[in-house]
Amino acid sequence: MVTTPTENVTKGLEDVIAGTTSICTINPANESLLYRGYSATELAEHAIFEEVIHLLVEGRLPKKRELKRVVKLLVQERKLPKKLVKVLKQLPDTANPMSVLRTAVSFLGAIEDNKQYSIDETKQIAYSLIGKLPFALMTWYHVSRGQSVPKVTKTRSYAARFLQLVTGREPDELEERIMNASLILYAEHEFNASTFSARVVTSTLSDIYSAVTAAIGALKGPLHGGANEAAMELILKFSSPEDAERGIMDMLSKKQKIMGFGHRVYKKGDSRSYVMKHYSKDLAERKNQTKLFEIAEAIEKTVKAQKGLFPNADFYSAVAYYLMGVPIPLYTPIFVLSRMSGWSAHILEQQSDNRLIRPRALYHGPQQLDYVPNDRR
């Protein structure tokens, strides 16, 4: 049935229901984030990222043999095609790491058969991309800086392997647990901008490579990704908690935006932030860098008192990444490595029950005009 657009337009589609999903929701009672019914924060405390990948992609938590299969598969899929390595080495060292990931996915799609993949084939590509992207990112990063790419321990978790790729050393147990938690908490978040972009592309019967390329492009925008990088740069500006309080008060008086605070959905606080705050505090104490955490906490208290805003998942994740030795330009790419699992789940869900996503717009332009020949205008 054809319908005519009405005046009921919500800018930014805020609170507009754009489809159905069984992957993720936010419990309206307590604003807790649920992955297929499981609390994301509980998963972050007790699971490893590979379990959550299986939960999102396959629809259930894995049994022991299924988890072993996923762990083994992700290790096997880490190997990059030689053609991709050649492309990565040609990218400039000034490139945005998000552009590097976008290029890597697009190139992988270009060297594969250009066709409409089945659901099973899409699922296998999803695992392949989840396994390859950390190595693609860090191959470019190290080579572009004249460094060799660190070798990783195959027996460690996805989170530990990534940290080893970044720092060149094996992480300790606390660092591995924190990176696991961060990857889990970033894995999925319903119909956010990048996920919706992926579903729109999938709805056209395009392939997973195109959908993920679009999703990375959406996440590259600072209104979606990048808040953790901006938050860390802000924290590093201050020398003490007192300096931070004064600086934030000055920024607020000038109506400047404080990155890492507020959320379109969460109004009472982002539960993911509290998990990362706890971990970043533990790590700061372990590394004897408590001043950094105290500065972050002073910023949180000031923003909450003055604006009533709570930190989102990005704010304390930034502190944890910094303390683990992760370079700031890699913070948003970590978001990609994590969200690949959620994007994959949505691409598969859209593929399994597809209808072209094609909304209408409320027209505000001129009504029908008569054409005037060029010599009479």
Average pLDDT for runs of 10 along the chain of length 377: 60 79 88 94 97 98 97 96 97 97 97 83 97 98 95 91 96 97 96 96 96 97 88 96 97 92 75 94 96 97 94 93 97 97 98 94 90 94
Q: How many CB atoms lie within 10 A of CB 11?
A: 5
Q: Which residue has the tokens 């990222």?
A: 49
| Residue from 54, 189, 263, 346 carrying the catalytic annotation | 263
Tell me the two tokens of residue 115.
């066709």
Q: Quickly list DSSP for 129-151.
A: HHHHHHHHHHHHHHHTTT-PPPP
| Residue from 189, 207, 270, 314 carrying the catalytic annotation | 314
Query: Per CATH, the architecture of 227-323 is what?
Result: Orthogonal Bundle (1.10)
Is the CA virtual torsion 303, 305, 308, 310 positive or negative? Answer: positive
Domain boundaries, the chain: 24-223+332-352, 227-323
Quote the CA–CA distance of 103 and 91 in Å, as a whole number: 9
Indicate if 224 belongs to the active site: yes
| Residue from 142, 172, 224, 282 carrying the catalytic annotation | 224
For the 24-223+332-352 domain, the top CATH level (class) is mainly alpha
- In the three-class reduction of DSSP (H, G, I as helix; E, B as strand; rest coil), residue 25 is classed as strand
Global pTM value: 0.93
Quote the CA–CA distance of 23 and 27 in Å, as a whole number: 13
Per DSSP, 221 falls in state S
Which residues lie closer than 8 Å to 113 by C-beta, 6 or more apart?
A: none
Indicate if 142 belongs to the active site: no
Q: Are 319 and 235 in contact (CB under 8 A)?
A: yes
Tell me the two tokens of residue 125.
């590509």
β-strand partners of 311: 261
Q: Are 274 and 320 in contact (CB under 8 A)?
A: no
Quote the CA–CA distance of 256 and 303 in Å, as a whole number: 12
H helical segments located in the chain:
40-46, 49-58, 64-76, 82-90, 97-111, 119-143, 158-167, 173-185, 193-203, 208-220, 227-235, 241-253, 271-286, 290-307, 313-323, 331-352
Same CATH topology for 24-223+332-352 and 227-323? no
* Phi, psi (rounded to 5 degrees) for 26: -115, 115
Q: Are 317 and 182 in contact (CB under 8 A)?
A: yes
